[in-house]
Chains A and B, each alone.
Chain A
Amino acid sequence: MKLKTYIIIVLVAGLFGGPVSANPDEESSVSREYQIKAAFLYNFLKTVEWPEEVISDGNEPMVIGIIGKDHFGEAFDPIKGKSVKGRKVIVKRFEGLSQVDESSDDAEDESKALRKCHLLFVCSSEQKTFGEIIKSVKGHSVLTVSEVDNFLEAGGIINFIPSAEKGEFEINLAVAKRVRLKISSKLLRIAKRVIEEKPSEKAKN
């Protein structure tokens, strides 16, 4: 196991260290954890299928939204200029709901902007408001990802398990299906936990 752990560390360093990363030493300021998470987000874009109408226009970029106080720093730099499904990938950062007044127009605008994201990463700073965020994109094909406990139970789709170090994640397949996101079985295979569609919920639909 020791050898494997070592290999993983080396490999994770190489995750962006290969053709993705221009210079791995530059990112030493960013924590390794967020380098991994940034790479994972990028890979989620690749392994999840959005409904056709969402990505109908070929020129539209794939948008990764990040809401709240993030620790990614320059972790997304290696992704710059790269594309997924033939589209450019851009990263948009949003202020957390905790900083925005709930009833204000700004909040409404932000909700609209959030719905346009393909992937929305909810930072741990939004621990108290992630329910709101999920609600604001509910019914839209937005792949919600977070790193807080009970995110899936609140209706989130993918969650990095906070206690785990190696970027292990869990998936709520039921929610994903409800918003017509197709998640690759290969991705499900490597997830730590998958919440399947409950029979009662199925009946409800």
Chain B
Amino acid sequence: LIMFKMSNMTIKDKLILIIMLVSLSALVLTAFILLGFVHVTFRNSMVQDILTDADMAADNCNVALAFRNIEDVEKTLTSLKSKSSIVFGGVYTTNGENFAEYYRDDIDSSVRPAQLKKDGYYFENGFLTVFKSIVLDDEKIGMLCIRSDLIPLHEIFKNSTAVITIVLLLALLMAYFLSARLQKIISVSILKLAEVAKVVSEKKDYSTRAIKQSNDEIGLLIDAFNEMLEQIQQRDSTLVNTNEKLSTEIAKRKKAKKALEKLNKDLESTVWELMRANQQLRDFTHITAHDLKTPLRGISTLANWISTDYSDVLDVRGKKNLTMLIKRVQRMYHLIDSILEYSNIIRIKEKEQEVDLNALLAEVIHEIEAPENVQISIDNNLPAVVCDKELMMRVFENLLSNAVKHAGKPRGQIKVNCEQENNFWRFSVIDNGLGIEEKYFKKIFQMFQTLSTQEGFESSGVGLSVVKKIVELYGGKIWVESKGGQGSTFSFTLPKHKERVKDEKLQSSTVG
């Protein structure tokens, strides 16, 4: 309990308490020893006094006892009165009979000892009793008994207890004052240290230092504390520096972020503008193409009319020119259709579904109506992909019809295969035709680019660019590989999963 209570005390009080407890126990021990010493000493001196009294009385009354002179014996006994502590004196004959007695005035006969004992002193019943033989000429002729109360002993004990208690209290008081002053030797440095620690923790001022006043353990503690403070101070300053750097960095980054955001916004608006421009362009293309078709149809109809109605009027050269006109018009018609088709890709692309490419390719091959000398083989089972069926059909239609056109003569061979490549399907259309020179690898995918304008290679120059656009629309790539005279391989990839939608707008716009 004491330990618990002590733990809540200040060091000052603890020190005082400890000193007081130690002083108290030392003083109490001393007091007890002193009291015991006083008691024993006084007891011995009291015994000596009574023994002397007994010796004297026994010697004084021996003759009177021998002559049985009761008055004289009584006189001797009465002289014991001078010692106020003596309550009883008695003289007995050798056969133990009572010869004379003395009682102190305030005492009755009950103090008389019950029986005689051997010479000596006895502490019993609260009395000091002395027995002494009465001897005359070496012959024992009787017995003397003296009884004393222990009041002097008690008195001395009481007085010395009082004195010792007072001394003890004074010593304790002095110990208190001394300890109250001397505890400062220890507590002051600790309290100062605590104060410094408090200042440090409250004001966060790590430049404060505790002052060392002694070379004891507290001095060591203060040294260690100061050293700790120094380290903290160093760390604190580096921390502050780092913090400052960090905050400027953060400010910079914020600024950069703002700039980036602004840039993004600008970009967005640019993109939006671009998209609008693109859309307008597309619409314009569509409308223009569409509008061009009407007068073209008129021209074509008129040319046909002229050809049929005035065939007999026209000479050979006129007929030949008219036929060329009709062909050119048709070709232009075709061209406009292709442009319309190209511009329609985005509009069509909305409807997506899972498409079985096996069925799709069968349909495509059927529609192409390849000549008999061209053989088309499909290598392995094709997967099903999620896409717009019409667009996908146009991809294969274009690639296959392109391959059929350029297939080798007299026997053309075309292969379609599909392989897995990471997250993509890679489709290849391989022909055994003349092949393409490397310098045209990119050019062929651009609009209105045909490599040969020979008769029989009827091409609008739009097909491959449409394919490229569709493939890229679905997040794939298209490229061609070829070695002169050994045919060419058109390959394109499609992602297995539908992730391409993200960049759809951007891609569609960049192509335009």
A: residues with CB less than 8 A from B are: 4, 7-8, 10-12, 14-15, 17-19, 36, 40, 43, 46-47, 82, 84-86, 167, 184, 186-187, 189-190
Q: Report chain A residues within 8 Å CB of B64.
A: 186, 189-190
| Main SS at interface, chain A | helix
Interface pairs A-B: 8 shortest CB-CB: A186-B63, A46-B137, A18-B94, A190-B69, A43-B66, A18-B95, A190-B72, A47-B63
- B residues sitting closer than 8 Å to A (CB atoms) are 60, 62-64, 66-72, 93-95, 97-99, 136-139
* Assembled-state Cα–Cα distance A17/B68 (Å): 13
Asked if residues B66 and A46 are in contact (CB atoms below 8 Å), the reply is yes
Whether the pair A18, B93 counts as a contact (CB closer than 8 A) is: yes
CB-CB under 8 A for A11 and B63, given A84-B137, A189-B72: no
Chain A residues near B97 (CB-CB < 8 A): 10-11, 14
Residues of B within 8 A of A82 (CB): 139
Contact yes or no, A8 B63, CB < 8 A: no
Find the B residue at minimum CB distance from A5: B70
Q: Which residues of chain A are near B60, meaning CB under 8 Å? A: 186
A7 touches B63 (CB 8 A): no
Q: Give chain A residues whose Cβ lies under 8 Å from the Cβ of B137.
A: 46, 84-85
Instruction: A36 to B71: give the CA distance in the assembly, Å.
Output: 17
In the bound complex, how far is the Cα of B277 from the Cα of A150, in angstroms? Answer: 187
A186-B62, A189-B64 are known contacts. Are A19 and B93 too (CB-CB below 8 A)?
no
- Decide: B93 and A43 in contact? CB cutoff 8 A: no
CA distance A47 to B141 in the complex (A): 13
A14, B67: Cβ atoms under 8 Å? Answer: no
Residue of B63, B93, B97 with most chain A CB atoms under a 10 A cut-off: B63
Q: Closest residue of chain B to A36, judged by CB?
A: B68
- Which residue of chain B is the closest to A17 with respect to CB atoms? B95
Known A-B contacts: A14-B95, A46-B139, A184-B63. Give 12 more (CB < 8 A): A7-B70, A11-B99, A18-B93, A46-B66, A47-B63, A82-B139, A84-B137, A186-B60, A186-B64, A186-B72, A190-B69, A190-B71
Contacts of A11 in B (CB 8 A): 68, 93, 97, 99
Alpha-carbon gap, A186 to B61, bound state (A):
8
Residues of B within 8 A of A85 (CB): 137
Cβ-defined partner of A14 (8 Å) among B66, B93, B138:
B93
Partner of B66, one of A7, A8, A12, A47: A47
Q: A46-B136, A84-B137, A190-B72 are in contact. Are A40 and B94 (CB under 8 A)?
A: no
**Can you spell out 12 A-B residue pairs with CB atoms less than 8 angstroms apart?**
A11-B68, A11-B97, A14-B93, A14-B97, A17-B95, A18-B93, A18-B95, A43-B136, A46-B137, A167-B68, A186-B64, A190-B69
Query: Please, which residue of chain A has its CB at the minimum distance from the CB of B99?
Result: A11
Chain B min CB distance to A40 (Å):
6
Q: Is the CB of B67 within 8 A of A19?
A: no
Q: Give the distance to chain B from A18, nearest Cβ to Cβ, in Å.
A: 4
Closest B residue, CB atoms, query A185: B63
Contact A4 B70 (CB under 8 A): yes
Question: Which of A17, A40, A46, A167 has the most B CB atoms < 10 Å from its CB?
Answer: A46
Q: Which residue of A lies closest to B98 (CB)?
A: A7
A185 to chain B, nearest CB (A): 9
Nearest Cβ in chain B — how far from A120, in angstroms?
19
Q: Are B99 and A190 in contact (CB under 8 A)?
A: no
- CB-nearest residue of chain B to A12: B68
Closest to A169 in B: B67
What's the Cα separation between A3 and B380 when bound, in Å? 162
A7 lies within 8 A of B67 (CB): no
Least Cβ–Cβ distance between A89 and chain B, in angstroms: 11
Contacts of B138 in A (CB 8 A): 86
Distance between Cα atoms of A184 and B68 in the complex (Å): 16
Residues on A with C-beta less than 8 A from B63 are 43, 47, 184, 186-187, 189-190
- Within the assembled complex, what's the spacing in Å between the Cα atoms of A190 and B75? 11
Smallest distance from the beta carbon of A162 to chain B beta carbons, Å? 18
**What are the residues of chain A within 8 A of B94 when measuring CB–CB?**
18-19
| Residue picked from A15, A43, A86, most chain B C-beta under 10 Å | A43
Query: Complex: how many Å from CA A155 to CA B95?
Result: 39
Most chain A CB within 10 A, of B68, B93, B97, B98, is at B68
**Chain B nearest CB: distance from A33 CB in Å?**
13
Q: Across the interface, which residues of A come within 8 angstroms of B95, CB to CB?
A: 14, 17-19
* Closest A residue by C-beta to B73: A190
**Smallest CB gap from A166: residue in B:** B68
CB distance from B433 to the nearest CB of A (A): 173
Chain B residue nearest to A45 in the complex (CB)? B137
| Nearest-Cβ distance from residue B442 to partner chain A, whole angstroms | 164
Residues of A within 8 A of B71 (CB): 190
A40 and B67 contact, CB distance less than 8 A: yes
CB distance from A8 to the nearest CB of B (A): 6
Closest to A184 in B: B63
Cα-based distance from A82 to B60 in the complex (angstroms) = 23
A11→B64 CA distance, assembly (Å): 13
Question: With the chains together, A167 CA to B63 CA distance in Å?
Answer: 14
Q: For A7, what are the chain B residues with a Cβ–Cβ distance below 8 Å?
A: 70, 98-99
Contact A167 B67 (CB under 8 A): yes
Q: In the docked arrangement, what's the CA distance between A19 and B70, Å?
A: 20
A175–B308 alpha-carbon span in the complex (Å): 222
Interface-central residue, B66, B67, B69, B136, by most chain A CB under 10 Å? B67
Q: How far is the CB of A19 from chain B (nearest CB, A)?
A: 6
What is the minimal beta-carbon distance from B77 to any residue of chain A, in angstroms? 14
| CB atoms of B68 and A15 under 8 A apart | yes
Q: Which residues on the B side are within 8 Å of A184 (C-beta)?
A: 63
- Expressed in whole angstroms, the minimum distance between the Cβ of B444 and any Cβ of chain A is 168
Q: Beyond A14-B93, A19-B94, A84-B137, is A43–B67 a contact (Cβ under 8 Å)? A: yes
Give the nearest-CB partner of B94 in chain A.
A18
Q: What's the least CB distance linking A43 to chain B, in Å?
A: 4
